[in-house]
Amino acid sequence: MSTVELTYLNAILEAEKEEMQRDPRVILIGEDIALYSASGALGKLDPRRTWNAPISELGFSGMAIGAAITGLRPIVDLTIASFVYLASDQIINQAAKLRYVTGGQVRVPVVFRMSMWHNGANAAQHSDRPYPMFMNVPGLKVIAPATPSDMKGMLKSAIRDDDPVIVFEDNDLWGRKEAVPADPDFLVPLGKAAVRCEGTDVSIVSVAGCLPHALAAAGQLAREDISAEVIDVRSLVPLDAATILASVAKTGRLVVVDYAHRTAGAAAEIAAIVAEEAFAELRAPIQRVTTPDVQIPFSPKLERPLYPNKDKITAAARKAVLSGEERGSWPVKSYFRSGAWESTKARS
């Protein structure tokens, strides 16, 4: 398959351009869309397919949902992820529910794109990572690609999907380059994680833009003779629990890295799944590397230390490996495998 070198941001534009050329039902709605179309970044398109919206996220998101119901396939650019709060009534109460409340008679093939901003001194009202709250809404698909290839392939899959899909992107990934397949039918399926590097001592599960830090941590750990397996979840809903559980069964240790706040975040959900379904495989307690439950400050010196980074991930992985060695096989594992658990259940 031929490839072309693209940045993460250009991969987004290529996906939108190719899908708009392939399917006349695909339209683009959002603030400052006129700037993209005027620059030629989206190719030659009927101007009626690009809707430059006013600063009214609730209004144009509702318009896009209505357009999706009537047969179009809108892509809504909400620009900054924190703006999704203004559109959340339409996304949660309409887009996510209409297929259910109509008994499957109505489809809502709409995509909502939004960028998460880190380390840019954007202050509290422009720096949120709101994907956990949408993971809690039945009827929505939620993805967070971390590489240019995945962004292009998953965004194209999202546009072709008959359900509403929310696409979260990290703006600090925008400039990263990669050889991306040039095939206009190149797709990356939703709901499938990717193993970025294989290992045997500890599983590092990365959410969204944490991937570069997770891979850097794996490199550092390798120099310390600790073999780390790095999993990029890519898709939060549906979540590929099978790949995560298979990795934990191999390594016996789990570190989850997530830019969102610690309480009720994606890391918490992944940790809960592993605790419920692979508890007997764990050789050490699960470690979470997350952003603390505080508002994001304007000051760069205060903001930067809040987020997961290579050093924090490396320290968490070391802790998991060392605590596992200190505990031997960790009592819980031998307890389950010895049959004592079954005896306890029988007595109760």
Residues 6+ apart with CB under 8 A from 196: 206, 211, 214, 215, 230, 231, 232
Task: Please compute the mean of the pLDDT values over residues 55-76 and round it to a whole number.
Answer: 96
Greatest extent of the chain over all pairs of C-alpha atoms, in Å: 73
Q: What is the pTM of this model?
A: 0.91
Instruction: Please tell me the predicted confidence (pLDDT) of residue 301.
Output: 93
339 — pLDDT class (breaks 50, 70, 90): low
Strand partners, 197: 230
CATH topology of domain 194-334: Rossmann fold (3.40.50)
| Residues 156-200: tens digit of each pLDDT | 999 999 999 999 999 999 999 999 999 999 999 999 999 999 999
Which ranges of 44-200 does DSSP label H, i.e. alpha helix? 57-69, 84-88, 98-101, 131-135, 148-160
- On the question of pLDDT at 61 being above 80, the answer is yes
Fold observed for domain 3-181: Rossmann fold (3.40.50)
The pLDDT value given to residue 332 = 52
Domains 3-181 and 194-334 in one fold: yes
pLDDT of residue 1: 78
**118 classed as catalytic:** no
- Give the residue extent of every domain in the chain: 3-181, 194-334
Exposure string (b/e) for 213-240, b if CB count within 10 Å is 16 or more? bbbbbbebbeeeebbbbbbbbbbbbebb
Cα–Cα distance for residue pair 95/164, rounded to 1 Å:
6
Whether 303 sits among the annotated catalytic residues: the reply is no
pLDDT, one tens digit per residue, over 264-291 is 999 999 999 999 999 999 999 999 999 9
In this predicted structure, the answer to whether residue 211 has a pLDDT above a threshold of 70 is: yes
pLDDT at 345: 47
Catalytic residue among 14, 18, 31, 57: 57
Average confidence (pLDDT) over 314-336: 71
